[in-house]
Amino acid sequence: MDGAKIALVLFVSAILQVAVLTEYRAFRSASLVLVVLLCVALLRGSIVGAIAGFGTGLLLDTATLGTLGVTSLLLTVAGFWIGRYGETTARDRLHAPFLSVAVVTVLYAFGQLVLQFMLGEPAPAALVIDGLPLALLVNLLMTVPVYALTRRLFPPRQRADRIGEVQLLG
């Protein structure tokens, strides 16, 4: 059930991103999909984060007829890493979603640049660096409502839910 909900939320945000939001200059730097994915990964962990990132990336590359796998690779790593952060140190910390979004926004932008460069396509770093402050601002502003919504849709699991069984050794 959770999986279907996550898929639906990411699908809707991906369609919104590619068809509507990117008409506005700010959303060519910022990304709603990235923010939603990070919030879901924080709440549901690394495995869900990685799978959701891969699927969302594939959807974005398909919709734009881009090189398949590029966005998947970046979002898989981002989803896994933030999911792991959520599973370990970030639990119940107020700053966690903001810190995650800020760090990943910067790394995602440079990741895109590096992949573009490695594929032999033009990779003007100045454009990315110029767009970063706006991307950070918009993504951080979006984090407030998006995290509140995703937290409502995917409430943090209770400790008892997460630990099914403990086996003592020795």
Partner 1 sequence: MGGLVLLSFVLITVSFRSSALDGVQGTAAGILRPFEVGADRVARPFRDAFGWSKGLVDAKSENAKLKAQNRLLLQQLVKTQSAVAENAYLKRQLDYKAAPSEADFTRVNTEVLTNPQSDLDESITIAAGSSDGVGVGDVVRTPSGLVGVVDRVSKSVSRVTLLTDSTSNVNAADVAHPTSVGIVRRGSGSGTLILDHVQKQNFVGVGDMVITAGSLGAGALPSMFPRGIPIGTVMNESDNDINPFHSIQLQPFVDFSSIQSVTVLVPKR
Please say whether the beta carbons of 9 and 36 come within 8 A. Answer: yes
Nearest to partner 1 of 120, 155 (CB atom): 120
Placement of tokens 């796998």 in the chain: 69
Minimum CB distance to partner 1 smaller for 102 or for 115:
115
Amino acid at 9: V
Q: Does 72 bind partner 1 (CB under 8 A)?
A: yes
| Number of residues this chain uses to bind partner 1 (CB under 8 A) | 51
Dist. CA 146–CA 140, nearest whole Å: 10
CB of 129 to partner 1, least distance (A): 9
Among 15, 90, 103, 153, which residue interacts with partner 1 (rule: CB under 8 A)?
15
Q: Is 148 in the site for partner 1 (CB under 8 A)?
A: no
* Residue 139: how many other CB atoms lie within 10 Å: 26
Write out the DSSP string of 105-130: HHHHHHHHHHHHHHTTS---HHHHHH
Region of residue 116 (phi > 0: left; psi between -120 and 50: alpha; otherwise: beta): alpha
* Least CB distance to partner 1 at residue 169 (A): 26
Q: Is 7 in the site for partner 1 (CB under 8 A)?
A: no
What is the torsion angle, in degrees rounded to the nearest 10, for the CA atoms of residue 113, residue 117, residue 118 and residue 119? 100
| 67 counts as binding partner 1 under rule CB under 8 A | yes
Regarding 114 and contact with partner 1 (CB under 8 A), the answer is no
Is residue 149 at the binding interface for partner 1, with CB under 8 A as the rule?
no
Q: Which two tokens stand for residue 147?
A: 């995290």
Stretch that binds partner 1, among 2-10, 89-97, 112-120, 138-146 (CB under 8 A): 112-120
Chain positions contacting partner 1, by CB under 8 A: 15-20, 22-25, 28-29, 31, 46-47, 50-51, 53-54, 57-70, 72-73, 76-77, 80, 109, 112-113, 115-116, 119, 122-124, 127-128, 130-131
